[in-house]
Chains A and B, each alone.
Chain A
Amino acid sequence: MPDIQSEDVAVTGPIAEAGPLTSIEREFTIQARTQREMVIRRFFRHRGAMGGLIVFAFVLVLAYSSIGILGLPGWWHQSYETTGTVQNGGAMSLDLLPPFVDGDGLAIGNHPFGQDDVGRDYFALTMRGTQISVLIAVSVGIISTVLGVVVGAFSGFYRGATESTLMRLTDLMLTIPLLVLAAVIGQISGGTPLLLALVLGLVLWPNLARLVRGEFLSLREKEFVEAARAMGAPDSRIIFRHILPNTLGTIIVNATLTISAAIILETALSFLGFGVQAPDTSLGKLISDYQTAFQTRPWLFWWPGLFIVAIALSVNFIGDGLRDAFDPKQTRVRA
């Protein structure tokens, strides 16, 4: 049993003059931190999570500041909607190599990521695609997590008829091929990003529901739940205040996995033509639009691909860090 967590406490008082009482004095002059302080502290010491956070923040800032949002102008001078003449065969003007290797030194140029067939700036397009993809992914993450947690919590806690009904519904959702279901309702949604997010969210919750149910099934038998009951806590309080925080690790990890899964699912849907519709775009749609150009102009594939991987990976790392941070039994900070 860890006595005092050296990571989470700081010795403040003078301990030298206490003589034989030193160890006792020391124990009681520690300064405990609040739960929030400890979570934040652990999170910021998690290297993977910090890396993920930096990458994710960078992607977000880049995407939203470059071409602007909601009519606000960004710092990038090209629009993702304006067509133009294709310069230099649509090649990238971004050059990171210095002259002595082979290049023009650090140069951004007019079209750093190149241009598409009709001369639109591919950097602006990728940024727009990132905006839409992130918007969809985060909304899907929130919607499916809320749904999955509620379904899992109620079926695990109440058991009986509630459980049968909700879990058969979950099984039903799981038996339907995800892509087909998403494609059909994606079609109905008409390609509006938020509607698409809602649809994907309605499809992606069953996994979390099962996990949360499993956790609830084991936690509801714990003595602290009985203790909560013995002190007169109502069911809602027991579910949301006593049991749910114990499942936070599972939920957070699953939510981040869902966010990356949603990015990929959206990519797949858009690739198949069921996702975001033109003139708007998403990362998946960009890849699908230029799949034929892969041999000749590979950057049209690599740039959106790079952003997909960057978002999915960084979100996963953040989730990993959050799970470790929320676990109060964790004394050491994982690197």
Chain B
Amino acid sequence: MADAMNLTGTISADEPIESRRERGEGPLLEVRDLTVKFPTEDGIVNAVRGVSYSLAEREVLGIVGESGSGKSVSSLAVMGLLPKSAQIAGQILLEGRDVLRMSQKQQRSLRGRKIGMIFQDPMTALNPVYTVGDQLAEAVRSHEAISRRSALARATEMLELVGIPRPKERLRAYPHEFSGGMRQRAMIAMAVINNPDVIIADEPTTALDVTVQAQILEKLMEVKDAVNAAIVLITHDLGVVAGMANRVLVMYAGRPVESGTTAQVFASPRMPYAAGLLGSIPSLETAGARLRPIPGAPPSLINLPSGCPFSPRCPLARAKCQEIEPALYSTDQLEHVAACHYWEELADLDDPTSIFRAQGVPAQ
């Protein structure tokens, strides 16, 4: 967390977007009020209900949330990879141009070249019948008409960059001959081989051993600096976010419920859900104490409860919460917003996680 705070200082992430735009350097990627709906037989699934965020150059934005909170869907929308049945509204501005208004062809030329993607499970995301070298070369040749030889030379460079020993020989190996960590390194190499400005990493360490996770994250940061890219890091691992992200966006039921710098969100959550997430992980400070999990389960995205979607699980919920869905209020801290009517109550507590009942212990 201390690292995250230092990083925050080195980039201009906490400078208001408006002022940067006036100077003609708008955010690299800006998502405005993005909504995604999927029509299904059971009704319309509101997978994403109004997500807005912006990403500055070389910034790392962590998107946190549990399964089904819309974090993956919103980034797939940025990539233009959602199925045709998805109804997408809002704006996705990449260097000021709206991706959603572009033709299929223009969108395709952005993928891989401007926005790279790292998938969760490198075993399934690599084609089993091609050698790693061929796949890396293929990533280059999808965009540039260059010879296989020079594409392979680029691939060698990239494998070296992600720390695979003897890259020249490794080009000829198949994905199944790589270990899990090497595969994810190859995946990172594939994502950055065309020098993208934005890398979307969708739970890049979930399928890996804990011991390898740290190496991969470190490598990802190294590579990001080498190619000067920004990262959207999607994860449900708060530890990963704490160590890497400059800013955090917490999502719940398809909406962002809290956003701020990593330090702000981790030290002083202003939304009960974020506080609950923090209370569910063990930490050194609470050693010996019991964890404080969030009771209940996330709501169905087909039939959302009225009012705040978190209200059925929220210990602070009152009548107002069941009627009016809170907007993102600005809080006591700059750039720190939270979707809670009663965020001030959390601000008054020393330990906001204490609003949840510790496991097996009656509420205080």
Q: Does B270 contact A (CB under 8 A)?
A: no
Of the candidates B79, B128, B139, B169, the one whose C-beta lies within 8 Å of that of A328 is B128
Q: Does B325 contact A (CB under 8 A)?
A: no
Q: Does B131 contact A (CB under 8 A)?
A: yes
Can you pick out 19 interface pairs between chain A and chain B where the beta carbons lie within 8 Å of each other?
Answer: A32-B172, A35-B131, A223-B119, A223-B121, A223-B124, A230-B81, A230-B111, A230-B116, A230-B117, A230-B119, A231-B139, A231-B142, A232-B108, A232-B109, A232-B110, A233-B138, A233-B142, A237-B138, A328-B176
The answer to whether residues A227 and B119 also contact, given A28-B169, A32-B172 and a CB cut-off of 8 A, is yes
Whether A229 and B81, one on each chain, are in contact in the complex, defined by CB atoms closer than 8 angstroms, is: yes
**Which A residue sits closest to B139, measured CB to CB?**
A231
Q: Does B173 contact A (CB under 8 A)?
A: yes
Residues of chain A within 8 A (CB-CB) of B119 are: 223, 226-227, 230
Whether A245 and B169, one on each chain, are in contact in the complex, defined by CB atoms closer than 8 angstroms, is: no
**Which A residue sits closest to B120, measured CB to CB?**
A223
Whether A224 and B111, one on each chain, are in contact in the complex, defined by CB atoms closer than 8 angstroms, is: no
Whether A3 and B177, one on each chain, are in contact in the complex, defined by CB atoms closer than 8 angstroms, is: yes
Whether B125 and A227, one on each chain, are in contact in the complex, defined by CB atoms closer than 8 angstroms, is: yes
| CA–CA, A326 and B113, complex, Å | 32
The answer to whether residues A242 and B127 also contact, given A231-B194, A234-B142 and a CB cut-off of 8 A, is yes
| CA–CA, A231 and B139, complex, Å | 6
Residues of chain A within 8 A (CB-CB) of B112 are: 230-233
| CA–CA, A1 and B172, complex, Å | 18
Contact with A along B72-92 (1 / 0, CB 8 A): 000000010100000000000
Name A's B-contacting residues (CB within 8 A). 1-5, 28, 30-35, 222-224, 226-234, 237, 241-242, 245-246, 248, 326, 328-329
Residues of chain B within 8 A (CB-CB) of A227 are: 117, 119, 125-127, 187, 190
Q: Does B143 contact A (CB under 8 A)?
A: yes
Q: Does B96 contact A (CB under 8 A)?
A: no
Residues of chain A within 8 A (CB-CB) of B2 are: none
| CA–CA, A3 and B177, complex, Å | 5
| CA–CA, A29 and B130, complex, Å | 22
Residues of chain B within 8 A (CB-CB) of A329 are: 128, 174, 176
- Chain A: minimal CB distance from B92 (Å): 15
- Chain A: minimal CB distance from B121 (Å): 6
Whether B127 and A224, one on each chain, are in contact in the complex, defined by CB atoms closer than 8 angstroms, is: yes
| CA–CA, A34 and B130, complex, Å | 11
Interface centre among A28, A35, A227, A328 (most CB of B within 10 A): A227
Q: Does B166 contact A (CB under 8 A)?
A: yes
Of the candidates A28, A31, A34, A228, the one whose C-beta lies within 8 Å of that of B127 is A228
Whether B177 and A232, one on each chain, are in contact in the complex, defined by CB atoms closer than 8 angstroms, is: no
Contacts A230-B116, A232-B194, A328-B128 supplied; 9 other A-B pairs, CB < 8 Å: A32-B169, A32-B173, A35-B131, A222-B124, A224-B127, A230-B79, A231-B139, A232-B109, A237-B142
| CA–CA, A96 and B42, complex, Å | 77
- Chain A: minimal CB distance from B144 (Å): 11
* For the complex of A and B, 5 pairs with smallest distance between CB atoms: A232-B112, A231-B112, A232-B111, A230-B117, A32-B172
Whether A226 and B81, one on each chain, are in contact in the complex, defined by CB atoms closer than 8 angstroms, is: yes
The answer to whether residues A5 and B177 also contact, given A231-B194, A232-B112 and a CB cut-off of 8 A, is yes
The answer to whether residues A245 and B142 also contact, given A224-B124, A226-B125 and a CB cut-off of 8 A, is no
**Which A residue sits closest to B110, measured CB to CB?**
A232
Contact with A along B210-242 (1 / 0, CB 8 A): 000000000000000000000000000000000
Q: Does B165 contact A (CB under 8 A)?
A: yes
Residues of chain A within 8 A (CB-CB) of B126 are: 224, 227
Residues of chain B within 8 A (CB-CB) of A248 are: 129
| CA–CA, A227 and B128, complex, Å | 13
Whether B129 and A245, one on each chain, are in contact in the complex, defined by CB atoms closer than 8 angstroms, is: yes
Whether A231 and B129, one on each chain, are in contact in the complex, defined by CB atoms closer than 8 angstroms, is: no
The answer to whether residues A28 and B124 also contact, given A231-B112, A231-B190, A232-B110 and a CB cut-off of 8 A, is no
- Chain A: minimal CB distance from B72 (Å): 11
| CA–CA, A326 and B128, complex, Å | 12
Residues of chain A within 8 A (CB-CB) of B81 are: 226, 229-230
- Chain A: minimal CB distance from B78 (Å): 11
| CA–CA, A31 and B172, complex, Å | 10
Residues of chain A within 8 A (CB-CB) of B194 are: 231-232
| CA–CA, A34 and B121, complex, Å | 26
- Chain B: minimal CB distance from A287 (Å): 42
**Which B residue sits closest to A238, measured CB to CB?**
B142
Residues of chain A within 8 A (CB-CB) of B139 are: 231
Whether B79 and A245, one on each chain, are in contact in the complex, defined by CB atoms closer than 8 angstroms, is: no
| CA–CA, A23 and B337, complex, Å | 54
Residues of chain B within 8 A (CB-CB) of A233 are: 108, 112, 138, 142
| CA–CA, A4 and B177, complex, Å | 6
| CA–CA, A226 and B112, complex, Å | 12
The answer to whether residues A328 and B124 also contact, given A232-B108, A234-B142, A246-B129 and a CB cut-off of 8 A, is no
Contact with A along B159-173 (1 / 0, CB 8 A): 000000110010011
- Chain B: minimal CB distance from A190 (Å): 43
| CA–CA, A265 and B231, complex, Å | 60
- Chain B: minimal CB distance from A280 (Å): 42
- Chain B: minimal CB distance from A248 (Å): 7
Interface centre among B165, B176, B190 (most CB of A within 10 A): B176
**Which A residue sits closest to B166, measured CB to CB?**
A28
| CA–CA, A241 and B124, complex, Å | 16
| CA–CA, A32 and B178, complex, Å | 13
- Chain A: minimal CB distance from B198 (Å): 12
| CA–CA, A173 and B174, complex, Å | 40
**Which A residue sits closest to B202, measured CB to CB?**
A230
| CA–CA, A245 and B125, complex, Å | 15
Whether A28 and B138, one on each chain, are in contact in the complex, defined by CB atoms closer than 8 angstroms, is: no
| CA–CA, A231 and B187, complex, Å | 11
Which residues B128-154 have CB closer than 8 A to chain A? Answer: 128-131, 134, 138-139, 142-143
Residues of chain B within 8 A (CB-CB) of A2 are: 176-177
- Chain B: minimal CB distance from A225 (Å): 8
Residues of chain A within 8 A (CB-CB) of B187 are: 227
**Which B residue sits closest to A233, measured CB to CB?**
B142
**Which B residue sits closest to A243, measured CB to CB?**
B127
| CA–CA, A4 and B138, complex, Å | 24
Residues of chain A within 8 A (CB-CB) of B172 are: 32-35
